[in-house]
């Protein structure tokens, strides 16, 4: 009898859900603008803002038009951006990625001059710059891991020298974090942060990005270097590798189909953990909301919250500006 009563009292979990204020005081996870990083596509043109067809609501900016967009992000409360370059021309060796006059070094200098307190991260990869669209240089028709490392290091050095706070290698070459860390330290850039795309899966969710960044591989796919979708133990080995190589921030990408990997990484590594809420995750919500099939605001809330609840500290998301505004209003 007594036992039954105490069971009943304990089971009334609805008590804490009755009113909005009660729900708020018991809420375990919150999205804050500080935790949202905005990816930006930078095009090598002048005076251009171009909508990205595959990602409604996302635009690509020329270097001279970047400050106006970043001012908007700053007023929404966003403190950090992740830059992707779309060069005017490409070649076999991806030269545009590591040239001092390339689109990213220029974009970084432009933003550094205009925003003292902005955290500038730059993606380090060759796929937007190579004519074949792969993330490294080719040798006998395959992506040459060790031949790519010095080029990634050179790119990272250019971006850091231009003023980037964070360089983020996403090419999934073995040893890329080490190669970059070593190059930075040799040049006295020992306060530049390396954010490794540690567990980056060969995902269908990058589709809309590849239109935006014009980085679709001309032949084959990326499965020989990006991770197999089915593996999570291997993800822990990838992350451990990046930590040993000197990464300051680790990342799981994509986020939504990999919440288990985020959660496992959180439990295992006491490192700042980023999760990339990628283009396909953005576009599918956008498309469904535009059709009236999903409530965009609540869906974005639920998705970003789930990524944080899984254990991510930092969420890289195309919803950053809107998400920050909603977060400040209280959703």
Applying CB under 6 A, which of residues 31, 58, 81, 135 lies at the interface with ligand PBG?
Answer: 135
Catalytic site residue from 8, 216, 253, 286? 253
| 238 makes contact with ligand PBG (CB under 6 A) | no
Is residue 279 a contact point for ligand PBG (CB under 6 A)?
A: yes
DSSP string computed for 193-244: EEEEEEEEB--GGGHHHHHHTT---SSS-STTTSBPTT-SHHHHHHHHHHHH
Concerning whether 264 is annotated as a catalytic residue, the answer is no
145 lies in the site for ligand PBG, by CB under 6 A:
no
Q: Which of 90, 200, 264, 308 is catalytic?
A: 200
- Rounded to the nearest whole angstrom, what is the least distance from the CB of residue 127 to ligand PBG in the complex? 5
Residue range at the interface with ligand PBG (CB under 6 A); choices 113-121, 203-211, 284-292, 322-330: 203-211
Burial of 11 (0-12, 13-18, 19+ CB in 10 A): exposed
State which residue, 20 or 90, has the beta carbon closest to ligand PBG: 90
Specify whether 297 is catalytic.
Answer: no
Q: What 8-state DSSP symbol labels residue 27?
A: -
Alpha carbon of 88 to those of 58, 103, 130, 163, 187: distances in Å? 20, 9, 11, 22, 29
Between CA 91 and CA 37, with CA 96 as vertex, the angle to 5 degrees is 125
Give the range of 61-69, 156-164, 208-216, 231-239 binding ligand PBG by CB under 6 A: 208-216
Instruction: Report if residue 303 touches ligand PBG, rule: CB under 6 A.
Output: no
- Binding region for ligand PBG (CB under 6 A): 123, 125, 127, 135, 170, 206, 209-210, 215, 222, 278-279
């Amino acid at each position: 009898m007594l036992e039954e009563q105490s069971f009943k009292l304990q089971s009334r979990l609805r008590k804490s859900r009755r009113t909005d204020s009660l729900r708020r005081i018991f809420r375990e996870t919150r999205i804050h603008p500080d935790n949202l990083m905005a990816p930006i596509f930078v095009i090598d043109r002048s005076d251009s803002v171009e909508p990205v067809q595959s990602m409604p609501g996302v635009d690509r900016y020329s270097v001279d038009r970047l400050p106006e967009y970043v001012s908007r992000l700053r007023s929404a409360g966003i403190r950090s951006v992740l830059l992707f370059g779309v060069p005017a021309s490409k070649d076999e060796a991806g030269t545009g990625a590591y040239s001092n006059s390339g689109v990213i070094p220029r974009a970084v200098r432009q933003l550094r001059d205009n925003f003292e307190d902005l955290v500038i991260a730059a993606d380090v990869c060759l796929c937007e710059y190579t004519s074949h669209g792969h993330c490294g240089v080719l040798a006998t028709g395959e992506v040459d891991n060790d031949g790519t490392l010095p080029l990634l290091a050179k790119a990272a050095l250019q971006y850091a020298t231009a003023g980037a706070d964070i360089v983020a290698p996403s090419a999934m070459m073995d040893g890329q974090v080490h190669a970059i860390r070593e190059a930075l330290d040799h040049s006295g850039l020992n306060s530049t942060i390396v954010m490794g795309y540690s567990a980056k899966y060969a995902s269908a969710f990058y589709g809309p990005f590849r239109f935006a960044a014009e980085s679709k591989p001309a032949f084959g796919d990326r499965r020989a270097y990006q991770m197999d979708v089915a593996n999570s133990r291997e993800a822990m080995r990838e992350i451990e590798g990046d930590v040993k190589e000197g990464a300051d921030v680790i990342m799981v990408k994509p986020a939504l189909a990999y919440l288990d990997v985020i959660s496992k990484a959180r439990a295992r590594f006491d490192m700042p953990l980023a999760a990339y809420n990628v283009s396909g995750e953005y576009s599918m919500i956008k498309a469904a909301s535009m059709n009236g099939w999903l409530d965009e605001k609540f869906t974005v809330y639920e998705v970003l919250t789930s990524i944080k609840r899984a254990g991510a500290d930092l969420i890289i998301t195309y919803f950053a500006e809107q998400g920050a505004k909603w977060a400040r209003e209280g959703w």
